[in-house]
Amino acid sequence: MNYTHGERFRATSDQTEAICHDSAPLMILAGAGTGKTTTLLYRFIYLIENLGIKPEHILAITYTERAAQELTDRLVKKIGEQVRDATITTFHSFCYSLDTLLRLCRRQNPHKEGNQFYREPSNTNLFDN
């Protein structure tokens, strides 16, 4: 049976599989105009309303800022401001934030012998010949 939400949304079988996937991580890959943002929207709603997961424990990574903003805006309209506690960001922004955090951790916790939590790369070039 396909997932429905109210009278206006009825998911396809592929969307239902993604929306109702358990609380484990999930990656959605699909072409333009296939309903990725809509699927993520209802996945969020499903996680919060059906599985009781708090928004601050949800991470959504999109490829474009437009998709991240659209998802945030649509979620706020559907379930309210609580969704702003979730992390909805782009792949590039998330990686940059993670890199910044790891560098900060490295500065605050200098490398000790046997502790290799994080090391600055020896070569910072993007491409290696």
pLDDT digits (tens, 9 = 90+) for 59-95: 999 888 998 999 999 999 999 999 999 999 999 999 9
Q: What percent of the chain has pLDDT over 70?
A: 84
What's the average model confidence in pLDDT over 117-128?
Answer: 53
* Position with higher pLDDT, 108 vs 26: 26
pLDDT of residue 128: 45
Q: What pLDDT is recorded for position 36? A: 87
- All domains of the chain, ordered by start, with CATH? 4-108 (3.40.50.300)
Does pLDDT of 117 surpass 90?
A: no
Sign of CA dihedral 113, 114, 120, 123: positive
Give all strands (DSSP E) within the chain, no chain letters.
4-5, 9-10, 59-62, 87-90
Q: How far apart are CA 25 and CA 53, in angstroms?
A: 13
pLDDT recorded at residue 129: 44
For residue 27, give Cα distances in angstroms to 36, 40, 69, 119, 126: 10, 10, 19, 29, 26
Token output for 73: 């805006």
What contacts 79, CB < 8 A, 6 or more positions away?
44, 45, 48, 49
| pTM for the structure as a whole | 0.73
Among residues 88, 105, 5, the alpha carbon closest in space to that of 45 is found at 5
pLDDT of residue 71: 93
Whether residue 33 is predicted with pLDDT greater than 60 in this model: the reply is: yes
Contact 79, 48 (CB under 8 A): yes
